């Protein structure tokens, strides 16, 4: 079971350190994706890994404002988010760059949390449209990569307070599982109240969580409910 916190544009170095220190020794695997300015050399339990929300697919070079592998390696970062909907839709990150990032991370042997998910208008067209949309996001991605984790995050449920129903999550995860053998997480307004029912699904291997995970007390509560919900 993998539970990941995506800090997005939140936390400072001091608050991130307090968050990580509060985690102790969790009973499941934990990932914390924090802003670049909050990265540090943390001493953590082996179940906890720090991750980067973004990177540019170079070791180093002349790319003003970007962060390359050299900067991440200084902090021992080996887990990265790729393809998050906020980068795809808000920051207009093109599919070509997403694929370049994926290929670069494979060469670096980093753990990849690769995000996929459909917008509201696609979901409203029906499940066949959802499957076709997800296929476009999986195209050109090495789904056999041994350090791959996929996160299904319906765009319409991210930061909206709306989570997909358990039935929708199960149906979509069942389909995605036919395409890969990697761990499959769910993301989209996951919180302490619904996490147990979500991670209790046979097809769900954990959760990628945004705003509900930013306060350490809330994240610890989520971890507690996760352990209760894990029925496999």
The model's pLDDT over 160-199, given as tens digits with 9 standing for 90+, comes to: 777 789 999 999 999 999 999 999 999 998 999 999 999 9
84 is catalytic: yes
Mark the binding-site residues, compressed into ranges: 6-8, 159, 189
Per residue in 105-124, pLDDT tens?
Answer: 999 999 999 999 999 999 99
Is the confidence at residue 143, as pLDDT, over 70?
Answer: yes
With cut-offs at 50, 70 and 90, classify the pLDDT of residue 232.
Answer: very low
Counting Cα atoms < 13 Å in the Cβ hemisphere of 164 gives 25
Task: Give the mean model confidence (pLDDT) for residues 220-230.
Answer: 82
Average pLDDT, the chain: 94
Q: Are 117 and 131 in contact (CB under 8 A)?
A: no
Per residue in 62-92, pLDDT tens?
Answer: 999 999 999 999 999 999 999 999 999 999 9
With cut-offs at 50, 70 and 90, classify the pLDDT of residue 157.
Answer: confident
With cut-offs at 50, 70 and 90, classify the pLDDT of residue 132.
Answer: very high
Closest residue by Cα to residue 222 from 31, 35, 88: 31
Q: Are 7 and 219 in contact (CB under 8 A)?
A: no
Task: State the catalytic residue, choosing from 86, 153, 173, 225.
Answer: 153
The pLDDT assigned to 231 comes to 41
Task: State the catalytic residue, choosing from 84, 86, 93, 173.
Answer: 84
The pLDDT assigned to 20 comes to 96
Is the confidence at residue 230, as pLDDT, over 60?
Answer: no
Residues spanned by the domain of 157: 2-229
Q: Indicate the burial class of 107 (C-beta count within 10 angstroms; 0-12, 13-18, 19 or more).
A: exposed
153 is catalytic: yes
The pLDDT assigned to 106 comes to 98
Helix (H) or strand (E) holding 217: helix 216-229
With cut-offs at 50, 70 and 90, classify the pLDDT of residue 228.
Answer: low
In the chain, the number of structural domains is 1
The pLDDT assigned to 159 comes to 74
Mark the binding-site residues for substrate, compressed into ranges: 6-8, 159, 189
Domain with residue 120: its CATH number is 3.20.20.70
Q: Is the pTM of this model over 0.85?
A: yes
């Amino acid at each position: 079971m993998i539970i990941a916190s995506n800090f997005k544009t939140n936390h400072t170095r001091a608050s991130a350190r307090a968050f990580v220190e509060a985690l102790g020794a969790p009973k499941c695997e934990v990932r914390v994706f924090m802003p670049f300015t909050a990265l540090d050399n943390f001493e953590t339990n082996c179940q906890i890994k720090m991750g980067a929300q973004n990177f540019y697919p170079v070791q180093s070079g002349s790319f003003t404002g970007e962060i390359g592998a050299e900067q991440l390696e200084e902090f021992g970062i080996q887990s990265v988010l790729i393809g998050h909907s906020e980068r795809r839709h808000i920051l207009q990150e093109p599919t070509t760059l997403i694929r370049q990032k994926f290929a670069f991370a494979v060469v670096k042997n980093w753990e990849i949390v690769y995000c996929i998910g459909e917008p509201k208008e696609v979901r409203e067209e029906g499940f066949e449209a959802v499957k076709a949309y997800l296929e476009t996001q999986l195209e050109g991605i090495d789904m056999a990569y041994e350090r791959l984790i996929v996160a299904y995050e319906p765009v319409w449920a991210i930061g909206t307070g709306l989570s997909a129903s358990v039935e929708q999550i199960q149906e979509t995860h069942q389909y995605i599982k036919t395409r890969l053998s990697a761990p499959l997480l769910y993301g989209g307004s996951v919180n302490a109240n619904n996490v147990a029912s979500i991670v209790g699904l046979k097809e769900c291997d954990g959760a990628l969580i945004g705003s509900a995970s930013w306060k350490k007390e809330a994240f610890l509560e989520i971890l507690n409910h996760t352990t209760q919900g894990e029925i496999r």
